[in-house]
Amino acid sequence: MEAFEAADVDGIVALMTEDAWLRMPPVPLEYQGRELVGEFFSVVAFRQGRRYRLIQTRANGQPAFAVYLRDPVNGVCRAFGLLVATLSGNRVSVITRFDNVTLSPFGLPRTLAD
């Protein structure tokens, strides 16, 4: 959570297994391996200084995080999706990102004040 909120791509990648996956159903894009996952985060997720706020939860018994994209003008954080982490020992082997419509069944808000 701390690495993601700090846009620390190296910190995120250090938590992952060498053959880790990043998946985003239903979008047919998948990235495998720490290097490609790190490149995705650097080039896409954190582009143009994007910052996020996360709220910890669980999904199907796995660690999960509601993701909110911070508006750089007014500081309001808007729902951006749900990240579910699959663990292998003490490392993340899969990150699956679901669209923000998945947040309401968890009772999570659509926006957060900064």
Number of domains in the chain: 1
Range of the domain at 69: 2-112
pLDDT at 114 over 80: no
Question: CATH number, domain at 44?
Answer: 3.10.450.50
Indicate the pTM of the whole model.
0.91
Q: What are 82-92's pLDDT values in tens digits?
A: 999 999 999 99
* DSSP string of the chain, one letter each residue: -HHHHTT-HHHHHHTEEEEEEEEETTEEEEEESHHHHHHHIIIIITGGG--EEEEEEEETTEEEEEEEEEPTTT--EEEEEEEEEEEETTEEEEEEEE-GGGSGGGT--SEE--
